[in-house]
């Protein structure tokens, strides 16, 4: 049986474009290849300034905008973002930058409408090599209670 789980499909796609490289370059990523999942994804740009890493939302899918309550494009990822699992996500982003392979994360949070959101996500580092991570693609599936 073909596994339809979002995280499995995204990791399989990441592996298919990675091929023999340490990590796939962002230029090879084609959102149309995962079109049915793309609205449940966001992309984080990774920048290093004076040895400090910053993360900025560069793309946010429509489904993500709905669950997080806003379009965060252009905003820095902040561990104090109330309605997102940001603190845990930042820890996984830090791991993905230092050990660039797919990372899985699951958990729960309460959204702005007081709904309990249980989620499963994967973080996929993209870049030129293990020392030059430029982006992290994050896919999330969730259930709201």
Determine, yes or no, domain membership for 29: no
Determine, yes or no, domain membership for 23: no
Task: Name the burial class of residue 25, with classes exposed (0-12), middle (13-18) and buried (19+) by CB atoms within 10 angstroms of its CB.
Answer: middle
What domain range includes position 118?
6-18+37-144
Say how many domains are in the chain: 1
pLDDT tens track for 41-75:
999 999 987 778 999 999 999 998 887 777 889 98
Determine, yes or no, domain membership for 139: yes
**Which contacts of 83-91 are long-range, i.e. CB under 8 A and separated by 24 or more positions?**
83/109, 83/110, 83/111, 83/112, 84/109, 85/109, 85/119, 89/121, 89/123, 89/138, 90/55
Determine, yes or no, domain membership for 27: no
Domain of 110, CATH number, reads 3.30.450.20
Q: In this model, does residue 3 exceed pLDDT 50? A: no
The predicted pLDDT at position 132 comes to 87
Q: In this model, does residue 84 exceed pLDDT 60? A: no
Determine, yes or no, domain membership for 45: yes
Determine, yes or no, domain membership for 26: no
pTM of the predicted model as reported, rounded to 2 decimal places: 0.88
């Amino acid at each position: 049986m073909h596994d339809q789980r979002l995280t499995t499909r995204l990791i399989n796609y990441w592996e298919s474009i990675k091929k023999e490289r340490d990590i796939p370059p962002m230029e090879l990523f084609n959102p149309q290849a995962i079109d049915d999942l793309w609205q449940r994804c966001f992309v984080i740009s990774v920048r290093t300034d004076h040895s400090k890493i910053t993360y900025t939302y560069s793309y946010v899918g429509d489904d993500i905008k709905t669950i997080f309550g806003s379009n965060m494009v252009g905003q820095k990822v902040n561990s104090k973002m109330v309605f997102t699992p940001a603190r845990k996500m930042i820890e996984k982003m830090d791991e993905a930058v230092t050990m660039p392979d797919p990372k899985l994360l699951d958990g729960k949070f309460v959204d702005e409408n007081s709904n309990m959101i249980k989620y499963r996500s994967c973080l996929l580092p993209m870049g030129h090599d293990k020392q030059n991570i430029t982006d992290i693609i994050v896919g999330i599936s969730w259930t709201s209670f």
